[in-house]
Amino acid sequence: MTSDSAYLIAWASLWTLLIAVSAFAYARGSMPERLGAAVIVTVAVVSVIGDVLLSERGLLIARLLTEGLAAVGFLLIAVRYTSLWLGGAMIFQAVQFSLQAYYFVTHRAHDATYVVINNIDFFGILACLTAGTLASSRRRRALAAQAAE
């Protein structure tokens, strides 16, 4: 398998996971999970658009700004809705922002280390959203069962 095909498989797998987790959050989650999914999907879509339309330097700036705005988005959701999963997502988002800032400031090309950290971090954010959605769904079911008694 060539590195290009491995990249495409990883890219397609992460997009499939993103769509599945976001759909799960919209279907089973409450408002914070839906808003969190919207933030994550927006960042991913803006990143793809930036890959197509921007120069390499412009893309680095756009990614840094987008990751910063995503962190602010998670912060606003966390302030409004106190939810444990948001704390985890914010920590992962801080790592993501730091990764973008490090590569921006040092003018390093995106290498294998960047790709691995970026993908693990993205997976961590999706895992936090999934955990939050599961907790919200269980909480709602428990309240419904309690109300039925």
Q: List average pLDDT for each run of 10 residues in the chain, which is 149 residues long.
A: 76 90 92 91 88 78 84 87 86 89 86 86 92 90 81
The pLDDT of residue 63: 82
The pLDDT of residue 126: 92
Residues in the chain: 149
The pLDDT of residue 27: 93
pLDDT tens for 115-131 read 889 889 989 999 999 99
Note whether 24 and 132 are within 8 A (CB). no
The pLDDT of residue 8: 82
Question: Which residue in 14, 2, 7, 39 sits closest to 110, CA to CA?
Answer: 7
Tell me the pTM.
0.84
Owning domain of residue 41 = 3-148
The pLDDT of residue 66: 87
Domain count, the chain: 1
Taking the C-alpha atoms of residue 66 and residue 57, their distance in angstroms, rounded to an integer, is 14
The pLDDT of residue 1: 66
